[in-house]
Amino acid sequence: LCGSTTFADYGCMLEIQQIEFLADGRSLVDTIGRQRFRVLRRGHRDGYNTADIEYLEDKKVAGEELEELQCLHESTYHLAQRFCEHGDVASRHILMQHGPLPEKEEDIQASADGPGWCWWLISILPLDPSYQLTLFSTTSLRARLAQLQRILTALLHAHPGGPPPPLHGPRGQV
């Protein structure tokens, strides 16, 4: 939540993959994020929060800038693979909960939100939710990959053989 508002300034449209209705009236809903958005205006209608939104899309690059972005993508994905190879209890729990690291996409700019594996990684890294939101709201794949590379490098160098601790910045976890 941001400030005194009732919901965050950024969000994600969810696609329902599966619903399981439980005997006690609850439901288990399996979803996947599809489109990021920014809240422009908040409202209230029939007892529900409402919002006018603007969909976010990563800025596309071409030529030499795209080549550099692809190199950054490759090196960051390699670090993510190394991070996920830790055979500790925490890693096994992550894999059970979230599944394995998704495969790299051929075209890193095919999706308006960039490569799916980045979002998977952001969800499993020991990051403060406000920092996750910062990564979520950026429309620069280069900036997102650079931050992920910095985080992964710090985690891998801090504990090369064991489970990584949460990253802490000047105001708590990064």
* For the chain, domain boundaries: 10-55, 63-173
Q: Look at residue 171 in the predicted model and tell me its pLDDT.
A: 43
Q: Look at residue 1 in the predicted model and tell me its pLDDT.
A: 45
- Measure the CA–CA gap between 144 and 69, rounded to whole angstroms: 11
Per-residue pLDDT for the chain (174 aa), expressed as one digit of tens each? 444 557 889 999 999 999 999 999 999 999 888 899 999 999 999 999 999 999 999 999 999 999 999 999 999 999 999 988 875 656 667 777 888 899 999 899 999 999 999 999 998 898 999 899 999 999 999 999 999 999 999 988 876 554 444 444 444 444
Q: What is the pTM of this model?
A: 0.78
- Measure the CA–CA gap between 137 and 58, rounded to whole angstroms: 10
- Measure the CA–CA gap between 68 and 61, rounded to whole angstroms: 10
Closest CA to 115 of 79, 85, 142, 147: 142
- Measure the CA–CA gap between 126 and 155, rounded to whole angstroms: 10
Q: Look at residue 114 in the predicted model and tell me its pLDDT.
A: 94
Q: Which amino acid is at 94?
A: I
**Residues 147 and 141: beta-carbon distance below 8 Å:** no
Beta strands 172-173 and 168-169, pairing class: antiparallel
Three-class secondary structure of residue 59 per DSSP: coil
Q: Look at residue 36 in the predicted model and tell me its pLDDT.
A: 95
Q: What is the CB neighbour count within 10 angstroms for residue 124?
A: 19
